[in-house]
Structure formats: structure tokens, C-alpha cells
Amino acid sequence: MRLGALAVVALALVAAGCAGDDERALREGQTLATRGSITPRVQLFGDEVVARVEVIVDRAELEPARVRVAPAFEPYEIQGQPKREERELGGFSSVRYEFRLRCLSYGCLKLVGGGPSQHLPGGIPNPNQSGGFGERASLRLKPARVLYEKPDGGRQVLSQVSWPEMQSVSRVNFADTDVIGFGFPFEASVTPLVEASYRAPPPLLGGAFVAGGLALLGLSGLLVARLRRREEPVAVEEEIALSPLEQAILRVEAARDGPEAERREALEALAVELDPTALADRARLLAWSPAAPAPEAMDDLVEAVRETDVPG
């Protein structure tokens, strides 16, 4: 029996709730069955179409998580991300894919006489060309492949899903000679839009905005002029240069709560400035002690340096 017939039988059992533990969703010897559907089969040009693929898998032979569907929907384009659902049916699994499609190209319209007429400058139809679009086009999409991703990284084609024929109907009334051939092949109507209404006349609002902008510009100029008159020289305080020893002390104070490496480097820099005093040996001993220099010990060293009259 053909694979398509197996798919119909399997899906009928699922819909009727008959796929129990004692009954098989597939015939003996079959590992999977497929079915494809398109809704609606007849649609207006540009409307959304839903394509579905359902695969019944024997889990004893195949892993449902490795089943993939590779469609080819040209001239339709997929809208958003495909939806995938999986559910168990006894010893089998149903893997369902749903694709939302839309076509906005000439490929979904029936070409008549070689296609739309060529136009002269200004949108006037060329009298030497004839052709356009028909009201209804019959379309059949390419079959979708059902793939299986092998554990070794390869892929195997398990089956192909054929799609039913579709009808794409134009939105144009081809009996209206005022529209056909004048550059409106995708318009449903050429009825003029309702004239816009306003709570206040646009010229009055425009004048008010211009006057307000000029007023703000004048006010900003006045403020700038006043600020320039009040501008006074700013006294710049001279920075007092710190001695190398004072800079080293400040560095130790800043590093007391920092990483261990920064504390050791700061203490060594202080020891260099304290050489050759006893405090230099104390700073160097603390800097390269086996344990990390303690913040309290660093504070004590800084206090001792400040209390001692060390040159520099």
C-alpha cells in the first residue's frame, strides 16, 4: 500500500481516539507516515495561508526529535518562525509542523498575454503591448522533504509530502476598464480617501508654531547676552605639588582595601622613598610578608611615617 494511504489511515485513527496500547498507528513494517494540508485552498492575493505537515513516527525505529521538514514554498514566503508540536501515541509519536505563508509577487497571479502591459511615461498604457493579469491562478507547491538527522551528523530523506493544488484570486475587478492597465494591479479599490478633518486650521497652527519658535530664539539670544555681560574671570587655584614621599603615602592609603598585588606594590614604593631609614625596612617587610598585607598594619605604618620627620 502506498505511503499516502498509510498516512490517511494513521491520522484517522488518531482523530478518532483509537490509537491505544493494543493498536498500532502504523501498519506492520512501516516506520512512518506523512500528510500535508494547506488552508485555505482558495485565497485572495496577499492573504495568509497555513501549510501543515504531520509525521507519524515509530519510536522503536526512529527518534522523533531528529525528524525535520524541509519545505520549498516559492513563490510564497514563510512568515515568522515555523511551529513544531510533538505528542506521543502509544509506541508512536506525532510530529506536526505548521508554516504561515504569504505571497506578494507576480508569481501568484495569472499572466495573460505575456504579463502586464508596458507603460509609456506618465503611466499611459503602451498601445503596442497587450497583456496583464488574469483573475485566478492555479498553483502547486514543490513537495516538502521529510529528513532524519543521523547521530553521525548526516541526513537521510525519509519521505516527500505533496501539496494539494491552490487557487490564488486577484483582488482587482478586471471588468473595470478605468483600473486595468493604469498601474494598479494590486489595489482592491481606487475609491478616494475621506478628506481629513482638523480641530484647528493647519495654517493657523503653523503660524503659531513659527511665532513661538521665533520668540524662543529671541529669548535665548537675550539670555546669552546677559551671561556674557556678567561673565567674570575665574580664579584658577594653583595645585600644590606633592613630594614623592607624600605621593607614596597616598598610594598606600588608596590601596589598603584593594587587591593584594596593589597593596604590595604601594608598600614597596613607600619603602623606596623611606630608604635608608628603619621605616623603609618595616614597609618592605610588610610588603613581602608571606600573608597578604593587612589594612590595619598598613594604617599603622602610614601613621608612623607621618609622625616621624622623614626627609622628602
Q: What is the pLDDT of residue 133?
A: 64
Q: What is the pLDDT of residue 73?
A: 92
Q: What is the pLDDT of residue 141?
A: 92
| Angle of CA points 205, 210, 211, to nearest 5° | 95
Look at residues 230, 93, 65 and name the one whose alpha carbon lies nearest to residue 150: 65
pLDDT tens for the chain, 312 residues long, are 444 444 444 444 444 444 443 345 677 778 889 999 999 999 988 899 999 999 999 988 899 999 999 999 999 999 999 999 999 888 899 999 999 999 988 788 876 655 555 444 444 444 445 555 667 888 999 999 999 999 888 889 989 999 999 998 887 655 555 554 444 445 455 466 778 888 888 888 888 899 999 999 888 888 888 887 776 666 666 667 878 888 888 888 888 888 888 888 888 888 888 778 888 788 888 888 888 888 888 888 888 888 876 665
Q: What is the pLDDT of residue 276?
A: 81
- Give 265's DSSP letter: H
Q: What is the pLDDT of residue 125?
A: 47
Please write the tens of the pLDDT for every residue from 100-126: 999 988 788 876 655 555 444 444 444
Q: What is the pLDDT of residue 312?
A: 58
Q: Which domains does the chain have, with CATH numbers?
A: 3-108+137-169 (2.60.40.10), 244-307 (no CATH)
- Can you state the angle between helices 260-274 and 295-307, rounded to 10 degrees? 20
Contact, 281 vs 253, CB < 8 A?
no
| Separation in Å, CA 65 to CA 27, 126, 162, 258, 311 | 22, 57, 22, 52, 79
Dihedral (CA of 256, 260, 264, 266) sign: negative
Q: 80 by DSSP, 3-state: which? A: coil
pTM for this predicted structure = 0.46
